[in-house]
Each structure stands twice: as structure tokens, then as C-alpha cells.
Chains A and B, each alone.
Chain A
Amino acid sequence: NAGVMQNPRHLVRRRGQEARLRCSPMKGHSHVYWYRQLPEEGLKFMVYLQKENIIDESGMPKERFSAEFPKEGPSILRIQQVVRGDSAAYFCASSPLTGANVLTFGAGSRLTVL
């Protein structure tokens, strides 16, 4: 079992460009969560998705950020028109069930905005 796979591991973008981060959950997991870690801070919840459904996006900024988890393929976190404040590590986690379950995290994608 390859675990939660995230790519790219590192991404550099200039202000105004788009960033796309991908996450493939563990085999058998149908629930995906995205968290953001700003420098020197703990992780903060952004969005929770199941296949073809956004369950909770309450932690995601209202503008420029979007997420999807299509029927086929990985979950995508998309950031349009990136700004320097978007520089962070973005972690994806997956679980087999919702609620109080163990989340397994990927290695993260580190976005640097120049």
C-alpha cells in the first residue's frame, strides 16, 4: 500500500500564476481532507471531500481556492492567481470512513510563491 501520495512535493510559482496540487488517497479510502500549514504553525483544516462531492469547505478561503475529487483520478487543490501569502505546505489526508477515525497524511506539497 503506497499510502497517501501527493505531488508535486515542491512547487514554485510567481504571483498571479495558478497552482495545482494533487492527492491520491490510500487504497480503499474514499474520504479526502486538505490541510494547510503556514510557517511555524500547526495544520489547519481547509476542505473535506468524498468522490464527486465537497462535504465541507468551511476552512477554505472564499476566493481563488477550489478543490475537487472526481470519480476517477486524484483529488486536486487549485489555487488561482497565487499571492505570497499562499506560500505554505499543503497536506492531504485520507480515511476509509468519516467521523472519528485515524487520518493518514501524505508527505505534503510545499508551495513557494515568488
Chain B
Amino acid sequence: GIQVEQSPPDLILQEGANSTLRCNFSDSVNNLQWFHQNPWGQLINLFYIPSGTKQNGRLSATTVATERYSLLYISSSQTTDSGVYFCAVVSGAGSYQLTFGKGTKLSVIP
């Protein structure tokens, strides 16, 4: 099956700093989503982005499908950004199973 690798596994930022999280995948995808799992365990959709670039406030994401990677940018980080960021993909025509990476654990300190 498809492999999803996220980097870095852990990241500590000072409040106000910017960061880039990366997701590499081993095959073509027809669905890619970024999620934020907050410290209470809730999983929140950030982006549906199988290709192209999207922005939502301080967050933006870019997926370069031909090169099999996606990037999540967090600007002017806040303590509420802390948590684990997951990339998840669906690969294969007619498939629906999301394959998750192991996540990037982000800690934003004041």
C-alpha cells in the first residue's frame, strides 16, 4: 500500500515563529487532507488539497502531486496551534481508505 511520511516528527516553536511541515507519499493520490489533532484529541480538518495551493488565515498548504509531496505552512504561530498535524491520503481509483502519516507533534511555547 501507499506509504506516507511526515517530517519533522517533533517541532518546538517560539510563539510568533513560522514553520513548514512536510508530507511525502509514495504513489499518486486522489485525495489528500491535513488534520490538526488538538491536545484534547479532537481531529480537525484543515485542508482538502490533492493538488494546488490553499490558504486559510495563518495556515496554507501546497500539494505538488507530480512530485508526491505536500507542505503545510503555519505563520505567526500561537500556543493554540500546538498538537499533532496529520497528513492523510487516498490512493487508487474508487478507493476511499485514508492512509495517515505518523504526524508532526508541534509545541508552541509562549
Residues of A within 8 A of B (CB): 31, 33, 35, 41-45, 48, 56, 59, 89, 91, 93, 95, 98-105, 107-108, 110
Contacts and interface: CB of A to CB of B under 8 A. Distances in A.
Interface residues on B, range: 20 to 34
B33 A42 contact: no
B86 interface: yes
A38 B89 CA distance: 19
Interface of B: 4, 30-31, 33, 35, 41-45, 48, 50, 86, 88, 90, 94-103
A45 B97 contact: yes
A89 B41 contact: yes
Given A44-B100, A100-B50, A108 B94 contact: no
B97 A41 contact: no
B97 A100 contact: no
B41 A107 contact: yes
Contacts of B4: 42
